[in-house]
Amino acid sequence: MVTINFRHMEENKKRTGEEMATLAAKILGDESSPDMAKKLAASVLSQTHTDNQTGKEMETIASNVLKSDEYDEDTKSLAASILSQSNKER
C-alpha cells in the first residue's frame, strides 16, 4: 500500500506592488523586450490582486536570472519580486 502525504501550504498573502506591476506592464507592452523579461513580467502580473503563488519552475528560473550577468536591472528586479513572493515551505 502506498501512502501519500499532502502538506498544507500556507496561503501566501504577498502581492505584486504597484511599481513592479507598472514595470511588468511596460515590459510586456514593448515588442523589443527580451523573452525572459516578458516571461518574468507575466508571472509578476499574475500575482497582482490575486491569490496566485510563484510555482517551483518559476522560482528556479527567477533564481537563475539573479545569478546570471546576462540580464539587465529591470529583468533582475522582476526576478527578485517573483522570489520574494515564493512559497517558503518549498
Tens of pLDDT, residue by residue over 44-90, are 998 887 777 788 999 999 999 999 999 999 999 999 999 988 766 65
Q: How many domains are there within the chain?
A: 1
Provide the pLDDT confidence category of residue 15 given band limits of 50, 70 and 90.
low
In the predicted model, what is the mean pLDDT of residues 13-37? 89
Q: Is 81 inside any structural domain?
A: yes
The pLDDT score that the predictor gives to residue 47 is 84
Q: Is 23 inside any structural domain?
A: no
The CB density around residue 37, as the number of other CB atoms within 10 Å, is 24
What pTM does this model have? Answer: 0.78
Q: Is 83 inside any structural domain?
A: yes
Boundaries of domain holding 87: 35-90
Amino acid residing at 30:
D
Q: Is 16 inside any structural domain?
A: no
